[in-house]
Structure 1
Amino acid sequence: MKLIMHSQKVVLAAAMILLVGCSASPTGRTQFIALPDSQLDQMGAESFITMKKETPASDDAQLRQQVQCVADALIAILPDDYRNQDWEVVLFDDKQVNAFALPGYKIGVYTGLLSVAKNQSQLAAVVGHEIAHVIARHGNERVSTQMATSQALALGYQLSGEESVEKTAIFQALGIGVQVGIILPFSRTHESEADLLGLEYMAKAGFDPRESVTLWRNMAAAGSSKTPELLSTHPSHDTRINDLQSNMPANLAVYDTLVARHKQAKCY
């Protein structure tokens, strides 16, 4: 009974920690930020250096120019604080269907993605999504959340009395609960938020936002995880597509206005 009371206090402590250091994401969502952005920027820059050493850059000049053009168009519509940074874009020669953006203004695209992102707008949907992770400070939020919950559990374990089978079982269950109840939902929230911000960015940059839906249909056709959405860090393809379609009208209106003015993106 005492252990149960202690575990309840740990959960309460974790919740209280998450209320400290709160800020707002670009969509107005409250988020927990505990680390200085400069620290995340340094971590991102160091990780990117390692990636460039481990994976060669593509030697296809045309593909590199196309990826750079898409990234430049998206960066050009960002808020001043981000638009004026020294972004670095690398096309990695690797068959994996993936892309990423890191704190520190680093963007990586793998050549394998270009087999699924079949035109400039589909590529913009992916790159815009990854840039959104940086703008929304998702890396900082995720590290901060994991750090706070880990510290709360560790503190609770130390304060909960002598070692016992019951104590171990309770804290193992708490660890699973934190993972499923806090960290994974935060990750899915980040992915959904990045999808919608990326949709906004690509429309403002003159890329057809409807291609974001086509992209995720391509992704689904290329193969999908069998992990239940509840236990996944990413929303299901159907969830992403439904969310994008729900937010399409306003973004399509922005794109149509640019098309009418002949200002749509023209990367390839």
Structure 2
Amino acid sequence: MCEHHAAEAKLVDVSKMDRRLLLRGLAAGTLVLVSGCATNAETGRSQLILIDEAQLQQASLSAWSQMRQQTRTWNNAAAQRRLETVGRRVVNAAGRGNQNWEFVLFDSPEKNAFVLPGGQVGFYRGLYEISERDDWMATVLGHEVGHVTGRHAAERYSREAATQTALQVAGAQINSQLAMAALGLGAQVGLSLPFSREQESEADILGLNYMQRAGYDPRQAIPFWQRMQSGGGARGPEFLSTHPDPDNRIERLRNYINQQGWGPV
């Protein structure tokens, strides 16, 4: 992926450019970040990154503000304390304890959760209510933190921008749409950019590592995903809509847990 884009593009330093110019260049097939290909220390995988971290953080704040305005929060003090307790342990285990994190419960029956690169975590009441064990909540939070450490939003933004060469970028509006969709909020802005199954699988494995380091039982990821698989009806929970096949996911997690000596499961 990285080599392909570098071969076709003019090498420039986009760290000094604003995102509007960046996307215009990408639409014309002329720009790529010199240091756009980097190996992620958490995953060991090379990634194409075409957005500055500060820009992504700003987009996170804008997206979070929009979500807070559109979705009612669940005012449950005990549930909030529990979410923050589990969340803090997981982010500390991931080595991200020095980052500002915000955990919010949304009052919605959806079995869903999301994270933004700036450390904003949305956890829906429907998912909370079936998370009967802290280990189950840690499974979700570990997965979501894995998206942050895996730099999946930045990678998703970069992949989409680099491949939309036919897109006529019309200034900041399209730029904002693409950035917010890359953050996982595409339904609100008219674009849909789900995490790839590769990224979802990566977040699963990272999440197991983080929950185990945090003192939670990674074996509990198996009954959690089984509960999610069985409890969503024919369509399945929204949280699973772009994820790997549930049976394949459970088998892969089972194998990893046993390989790490955390089993047997």
- Distance (Å, rounded) in 1 between the aligned partners of 2:105 and 2:235: 29
| In 1, Cα distance between equivalents of 2:115 and 2:54 | 16
Aligned length: 208
Residue 223 of structure 1: CA displacement?
A: 2.3
Q: How far apart are the structure 2 equivalents of 1:106 and 1:139?
A: 13
8 Å contact kept, 2:88–2:97: no
- 2:225 match: 216
Query: Partner residue of 2:106?
Result: 92
CA 1:203–1:154 in 2, change beyond 3 Å: closer, same or farther? same
Correspondence for 2:47: 31
Q: 1:67/1:145 Cα in 2 relative to 1: closer, same or farther (>3 Å)?
A: same
2:219–2:262 CA contact under 8 A, matched in 1 = no
Select which of 133, 139, 147 maps to 1:133.
147
Whole-Å separation in 2 of the counterparts to 1:239 and 1:41: 33
User: C-alpha separation between the residues in 2 aligned to 1:150 and 1:14?
Assistant: 16
Question: Do the aligned partners of 1:14 and 1:148 also contact (CA within 8 Å) in 2?
Answer: no
Aligned with residue 240 of structure 1, among 237, 241, 249: 249
Asked if structure 2 preserves the Cα contact closer than 8 Å seen for 1:208 and 1:252, the reply is: no
Instruction: Give 2:77's match in structure 1, choosing from 36, 52, 61.
Output: 61
Q: Kindly provide the amino acid, as one letter, of the partner of residue 84 in structure 1.
A: N
Q: For residues 16 and 248 of structure 1, what CA distance do their matches in structure 2 show?
A: 41
Matched, 1:193 2:202: yes
Which of 31, 53, 60 aligns to 1:44? It is: 60
1:113 and 2:127 aligned: yes
Deviations 1:193-229, CA, capped at 9 Å, x for gaps: 00000000000001110111111101110126769xx
Structure 1 position 55, deviation (Å): 1.5
More helix by share: 1
Identity of aligned residues (%): 38
Question: Is 1:70 aligned to 2:79, yes or no?
Answer: no
Cα drift, residue 42 of structure 1: 1.0
After TM superposition, give the deviation of residue 233 of structure 1 in Å. 3.5
> Gaps spanning 5+ residues in structure 1: where?
1-11, 156-182, 255-268
**Deviates further, 120-129 or 218-227:** 218-227
Other-structure match for 2:117 = 103
The amino acid across from 2:203 in the alignment is A
Given residue 144 of structure 2, which amino acid in structure 1 is its aligned partner?
Answer: E
Q: Secondary structure at the match of 2:78?
A: helix
Given that 2:138 and 2:211 are in contact with CA atoms closer than 8 Å, whether structure 1 keeps it comes out as: yes
State the shift of 1:143 in Å. Answer: 0.7
Structure with larger RCO (C-alpha < 8 A, sep 6+): 1
Match of 1:146, as an amino acid? E
Give TM-score, length-normalised by structure 1: 0.70
- Equivalents in 1 of 2:218, 2:90: separation in Å? 13
Structure 2: distance between partners of 1:19 and 1:37: 13
Q: Cα offset for 1:72? A: 0.7
Q: Between Structure 1 and Structure 2, whose CA radius of gyration is higher?
A: 1
State the 1:115 CA deviation. Answer: 2.9
Q: 1:236 to 1:224 in 2, by over 3 A?
A: farther
8 Å contact 1:203–1:252 — kept in the other structure? Answer: no
2-structure distance, mates of 1:19, 1:34: 6
- How far is 1:116 from its partner? 2.7
CA distance in 2, matches of 1:148, 1:193: 22
Structure 2 gaps of 5+ residues are 10-31, 169-192
> Secondary structure in 2 aligned to 1:89?
strand
